[in-house]
Amino acid sequence: MTTKIDENPFKTLVHAHVSSFNEAMSRVNDVVIDLIPEEYQIGENAPVRFWIRSLDIEKPRVVNNLIGDEPLYPSECRERNLSYTGKIVGEIVYQIGNGFTKVFQYDFGRIPIMVQSTLCNLHGLTKKQLIEHKEEETEAGGYFIIGGIERLIRLIFQQRRNHPLAIIRPVFEGKGPGYTKYATMIRCTHKDESSVRISLHYIKTGDVDCRISLQKRQFFVPIIILLKSLAEVSDKEIFDRLCEPFMKTNDKKSKHKLKKGIDSFITERIEMMLHTKHKYDLSTRSEYLAFLGSRFRVRMRLNKTITDEQAGREFIRRYILVHLDSDHSKFNLMIHMLHKLYALILGEISPDNPDTPSFQEVLLPGDLYLMYLRYQLQNWLNYQSVVMKKLLENSGDPDNVKLLYEDKFFQEALKKNKFSITQRFQYFLATGNVVHDGSLGLPQTTGFSIVAEKLNIFRYLSHFRAIHKGAYFVNMKTTEIRKLLPEYWGFVCPIHTPDGTPCGLLNHFAQTCQIVTNLKYEDKMLITTLRKLISEIEGVIPIDPYLIKDKEVLPIYLNGCLINRCYQNQLESISAQLRWLKINSKLGVPNNLEIVSIPRTLGDIFPGLFLFTNHSRMIRPVLNLRFDKVEFIGTMEQMYLSVAAKRSEIVEKITTHLELEQQNILSLIASLTPFSDFNQSPRNMYQCQMGKQTMGTPSLTWPTRSDNKMYRLISPQLPLVRNKNYLKFGMQNFPQGTNAMIAVISYTGYDMEDAMIINRASWQRGFAHGCIYKEMVIDLGEKSGGKRPKTFKQCQFVFQNYLPSEPEEKINQRLGLDGLPEIGDFIKHGDPLYSRYSLKENRVIVERHKGEDCYIDQIRILSLDYEDKYVELMANTIGSLQCTKVSMKIRIVRNPVVGDKFSSRHGQKGVLSQLWPEENMPFTQDGLRPDVIINPHAFPSRMTIGMLIEAMAGKVASMDGKVQDGTTFQFSEKDRAIDFFGKKLRKAGYNYYGSETLYSGISGEPLHSDIFFGMVYYQRLRHMVGDKYQVRSTGKINNLTHQPVKGRKVGGGIRFGEMERDSLLAHGASFFLQDRLLNSSDVHLSYACKKCSTILSVIPSVKPSMSGNNYENLAKCSICGEKKNVIKIQIPYVFRYLVTELMAMNIKLSLLFDDFKKN
């Protein structure tokens, strides 16, 4: 099996993250220019304006007290629990009127920098240099470091930009009186990637309203107002433009008429829409713009000096089809949206499904980062304006214009501006929450960032290829959004999705799927070149609607802008010419151009030629059969192409493209499952999840990492059966399993169900041995009380194991003089962990270990101050060094014990039930004994035939000494896997089907049936008894119900659920049931009145007895006033809570007592 190994294969997996961040950083100053300047006026004087002219984001650096600034590297941030951030410095222009102008330098703080981006200090380093900086040679970045924790911004689906969708939603009928379920909607983006959504809603009267959202409030504007504001056109022109798609040619003289039956419907609705404008008494475009401006100027926070007409133009620029620069282009697209709306109402087209990938794109990390940065910079400007106004008011003379001309005034305002961009970015990436006023157009406000867990390499890499459909759908009861649609083919993996709540919502990209991140494809020069090029293609006709009116003329749109038109019969020819230019990258046509050719013959889809070059689109490579070259196609483009999975499926004159490899439809993790096409599909899904929960080799730099928790397999092996992608993506450097000889046999009573037996001799020789590394930060500053001290001198404690009066005498002999344990020390529960010396009380306090037994693996001394690279140390009287903050890494040995979980690579999970002595294990005639015994019942219902084939292939590999290829889809009915490996087994002298005669390890007699015996790669899962066992006698209870709290960490009770209750009921173990549900839970002694049949009416009270030493019980019922009927009963306390709650609702619960009968 020969596979080309990439230089750094991980870079392709994180490309969307790193590249989008680099693009965002290159556009920062373009976005800053578009910030709205702050402006206010003092009396009749000239207006005061200030704005941010430019920004410079520096690479992360740290202050070194000895040699000055030096580069800060990610490894140091991980070790010291710091954030990997760079300083952001800007120029602020301060202007009064059109004359006085000053430029000020300002430090905005620090913002997080993505690892391996162009702003990262690791960028461009060689493998050797990466290793010198404590990184892996394959470090690809794509994440941020916040407080020492690696976090990444997750990818999220959102509506495709600049393309209108026709939607039918019953919820639209509730938008207002007369509204219907029909609408067209479009999402348009600004330069900073923030978006604006507008919808055109059809009303029963025939009118159409445009819905716009401003600052989380919705506004409805009649469409005729917008059309008249966008262009100086007459009613007749609008009428003609709207009727265009519904025209037909009736005779040779090309007299154009509306289709029969549509005549009255279309004309009446358009006339009703045109009549709407009469009630506003407006005629010219300027009047329409002034009308819009007067309604929205307050919402836009515009200055009083701006006229209503200017305000209207600003409204159009900010909120109406913002991706287009010219009003004429906006007018054309608005007409197109109306065409699509009317076609939907008439039933000529089917509604679009916004949940299909055809109409979706990806919200990239760089885009979200950039729009959030612009939003916070705009907020900073607003806050600066407030600070300046307050300074003027506090000066005693708010109208003092002279004060404004002083440099000190603005500098003082800058100092008093406490708006922290640093804190807001830290909060955003640490929590994943984006707090905004709705202007960013985001699909959600939470869940944007996640921890890049490095449990193992599968889990780590899958974070970067994961794509979520949005938090909005998580709690929805409908399953439509979770379905695997045919449109996902080749772009989203059909296997790799979790089971349970996120099933179908959290997906993963197929291995060859790429995201367009380069913004050069949206450059105006490129767009102009493409427009000119397309206009020169034969069959393309100009836009001008007066030159030709014909139903057979279709529009050509480029990124949502109408650029040309063409005849229906020329559509295929034009598409083919563009596709040739695209494949060969000729005349400046980008190779990722998406060419969506929709002929009118398809019937229920709005026709036209739609071209896309914008970024955030998903593309993938396929082979173009016509030109015999690789072509990148998009999600919408694929819908109108014929792509064959393999050459045998090619149909002449129909098939246009061919898959490069059949396994390209799978994600990286899914493609690593050997022979997955032989398994039942849910088992492949389970393996994708269990593969990410496996103990293995998460990182080659584990000695220098400081993760909170890290699992590591001590003796991992490379699998003998591998897929092509295993070497291609460098998985051999991160093994996470062991090759085990398995016997499929029911041998003892300990292998029933999913239990498995492991050979004790294999276990003793290191089979699946592992350990857990835990990192704990001990900060004595937090123990000082009150605010955390910022310097060493403010601390009340230091790590120390002696008194100053006796500097050589240890207080605790297990610890060093520095108060810390030695590296390699074995620490048991209750042993001293460290000691601290109280400067106030002059005594040493010893803190003891409270967890499970462990080894001290590493101790790092950390500093207090963020800017100080080296630790603050203070020499005492004898010159020893003291510190107040350390990071301690402990190693917990976790060798397999009964109850730990294992699994094969086929979703066959098993629990270790017994370590069986080697002498009692069955053996073959060659003397081989299995490492693992599993039950035969694991196969029939689960149908994991891939595991049986792997066992045969593993057996072949161990005999031949050659790794076997387990790549998916390589075998077929004609070329069967069992024949391929069976022949090799027979050649080696084994049974054709992998079975062997085993001999009993107890009696030595041969077993009656042949036993399936082979080698399978087994994974040890992180689910271990050591982390889950729970014991409790007494402890915390819930104050409301008096039942034990839940949770292992808080010493909670053991859950006794409905299934446990049912099993005891079935056995008739009533006393045991009472013990579990009453005596061991919330048993409660309560007074009750037999006469009144309630437990709530009794008032307990006591009085001293005659002897004076005891108290008499005087409990009596408050209803009947008697004492003789009051008794004590034993009930669950939650029953008293239930009775109380029902009583509050005027419902009485009466109790019946056997020894008391009411008349």
Collapsing DSSP states into helix, strand and coil, what is residue 697? coil
Collapsing DSSP states into helix, strand and coil, what is residue 812? coil
Half-sphere exposure of 527 (CA within 13 A, CB side): 18
Task: Provide the phi-psi class of 611: left if phi over 0, else alpha when psi is between -120 and 50, else beta.
Answer: beta
Of 229, 169, 228, nearest in space to 199 by CA:
169
Sign of the four-CA dihedral 296, 302, 308, 313 = negative
Instruction: Report residue 664: phi and psi, to 5°.
Output: -65, -15
- Burial 649-679, CB ≥16 within 10 A → b, else e: eeeeeeebbbbebebbbbbbbbbbbbbbbbb
Helix H segments across 634-673? 635-638, 668-671
CA distance 1135 to 1140: 9
Contact 498, 467 (CB under 8 A): no
Both tokens of residue 165? 């969708």
Spatial CB neighbours of 516, under 8 Å, sequence gap ≥ 6: 592, 614, 615, 616, 617, 619
Contact 690, 682 (CB under 8 A): no
Instruction: Report residue 88: phi and psi, to 5°.
Output: -120, 115
Contact 688, 503 (CB under 8 A): no
Collapsing DSSP states into helix, strand and coil, what is residue 627? coil
Residue 1105, pLDDT score: 60
Spatial CB neighbours of 316, under 8 Å, sequence gap ≥ 6: 229, 230, 289, 292, 327, 330
Both tokens of residue 973? 């009915």
Angle at the Cα of 1089 from the Cα atoms of 1088 and 1090, rounded to 5 degrees: 110
Q: Which residues of the chain have pLDDT under 70?
A: 1-6, 43, 64-68, 247-263, 398-399, 521-522, 543-551, 784-794, 863-882, 1102-1113, 1155-1159
Of 607, 523, 595, nearest in space to 565 by CA:
607
Collapsing DSSP states into helix, strand and coil, what is residue 736? coil
DSSP labels, 480-502: GGGS--GGGTTTB-SS---SSTT
Contact 1127, 1090 (CB under 8 A): yes
Contact 970, 999 (CB under 8 A): no
Contact 656, 579 (CB under 8 A): no
Instruction: Report residue 517: phi and psi, to 5°.
Output: -120, -15
CA distance 307 to 479: 51
Element (DSSP H or E) covering residue 458: helix 457-465
Residue 839, pLDDT score: 87
CA distance 377 to 51: 10
Instruction: Report residue 554: phi and psi, to 5°.
Output: -110, 145
**Do strands 932-934 and 709-713 pair parallel, antiparallel, or not at all (unpaired)?**
unpaired
Gyration radius of the chain over CA positions: 37
Residue 255, pLDDT score: 40
CA distance readout (Å), 674 to 725, 799, 807, 948, 958: 11, 53, 64, 11, 17
> What is the residue type of 677?
D
Of 826, 828, 846, nearest in space to 836 by CA:
846
CA distance 684 to 495: 7
Helix H segments across 703-815? 724-728, 760-764
> What is the residue type of 97?
G
Both tokens of residue 28? 């920062």
Residue 228, pLDDT score: 93
Contact 833, 847 (CB under 8 A): yes
Instruction: Report residue 92: phi and psi, to 5°.
Output: -110, 125
Spatial CB neighbours of 1024, under 8 Å, sequence gap ≥ 6: 894, 897, 899, 900, 901
Task: Provide the phi-psi class of 193: left if phi over 0, else alpha when psi is between -120 and 50, else beta.
Answer: left
> What is the residue type of 436?
H
CA distance readout (Å), 457 to 453, 576, 693, 700: 9, 43, 10, 10
CA distance 181 to 341: 11
Contact 23, 366 (CB under 8 A): yes
Contact 952, 981 (CB under 8 A): yes
Both tokens of residue 726? 């295993």
Contact 320, 330 (CB under 8 A): yes
Spatial CB neighbours of 472, under 8 Å, sequence gap ≥ 6: 443, 444
CA distance 944 to 954: 16
Angle at the Cα of 122 from the Cα atoms of 120 and 127, rounded to 5 degrees: 160
Contact 517, 20 (CB under 8 A): yes
Q: How many Cβ atoms are within 10 Å of 168's Cβ, its own excluded? A: 14
**Do strands 165-168 and 155-159 pair parallel, antiparallel, or not at all (unpaired)?**
unpaired
What does the DSSP 8-state code read for residue 835?
Answer: E
Helices 263-275 + 235-243 axis angle, to 10: 150
Sequence length of the chain is 1159
Domains of the chain: 10-153+364-436 (3.90.1100.10), 161-363 (3.90.1110.10), 516-665 (3.90.1070.20), 679-769+897-1020 (2.40.270.10), 771-893 (2.40.50.150), 1082-1144 (no CATH)
CA distance 521 to 54: 25
What does the DSSP 8-state code read for residue 1043?
Answer: S
Both tokens of residue 1022? 């992180």
Residue 795, pLDDT score: 77
Of 122, 103, 18, 150, nearest in space to 60 by CA:
122
Contact 578, 613 (CB under 8 A): no
